Structures are given as C-alpha cells and as structure tokens.
Structure 1
Amino acid sequence: MKPLFIAATEVSKLFPGLSPKTLANLRSQGRGPRFFKKGRRVFYRVEDLERWLAEGEVKTSGC
C-alpha cells in the first residue's frame, strides 16, 4: 500500500532520480508539483507527484 503523503526528503525512495534538492529548486521557482508544509517540513501527495511526472511524458514516434 503506497502512502498518501510523503516527505520531500523521502521522495527519491519512491521516485528514484527525483531529488529533494530538485524539488526545493522547483518550489522556489513556483514550479513543480503541489506541496504542503507542516512547520518546516514539506510534504507531497503521492498522487500529485504521479500526475506531475505523467504531465512531462514525452511521446516518441516509432520507426
């Protein structure tokens, strides 16, 4: 069972290659997936991360 929310520091465990630093840069630019803050900690809904990653899908044409 996948979690509903995940801490920014743990995202790369569920989505290898997506680092906390990359997410922090995207947040500071007003880009990236929707996030939530509780105190100083940043959290993401797993479904929001999945949706955001899927929006960046690149379609390739077959030869």
Structure 2
Amino acid sequence: MSNEFLTTKQVSETYPFLPAATLRYWRHANQGPASFMLGKKVLYRRSEIERWIAEQEAATTRGGVA
C-alpha cells in the first residue's frame, strides 16, 4: 500500500492541507513532493507524499524536548 499511486486530485482529497492548485504550482516550480508523468497523468507515490511531509516536519519543528 505504501507504493500506491495517487493523482493530484486524490492527493488533495487525502491530504486536505495540500490543495491541488498548490501541488500544480509546486510541480511547475520544481518544489514539493516528487511526482512523475504516466502518459498524460501526473502521479505521486503515497510513500513519497508521506516522506516529504515527514521531511517538512523535521525541518520546521520547534520546541519540545531539548
């Protein structure tokens, strides 16, 4: 299941804090989670979305245990 492929719409439905328009902009700007084309469809691996979210969390976490 961790290698499940998601379309831009499915990513934004599964992760509401990642709007489809933002994902499209990030793709254009070569930012955000990795994606690829399969035919005319843009796809994301669920595992890549989760890895990218964890990376963002690690990079921006403040406070907590010293």
- Where structure 1 has 5 or more consecutive residues not aligned to the other structure, the ranges are none
Deviations 1:7-35 (A, max 9, x none): 01111221112111101110111111111
- Where structure 2 has 5 or more consecutive residues not aligned to the other structure, the ranges are none
Matches within 5 A, 1:1-63: 4-57=4-57, 58-62=60-64
Identity, % of aligned pairs?
A: 37
Report if the CA contact (8 A) 2:8-2:44 is conserved: yes
Alignment RMSD (CA, Å): 1.7
Alignment TM-score, normalising by the size of structure 2: 0.78
- Number of aligned residues: 62
Alignment TM-score, normalising by the size of structure 1: 0.82
Structure 1 runs of 4+ aligned residues shifted over 6 Å read none
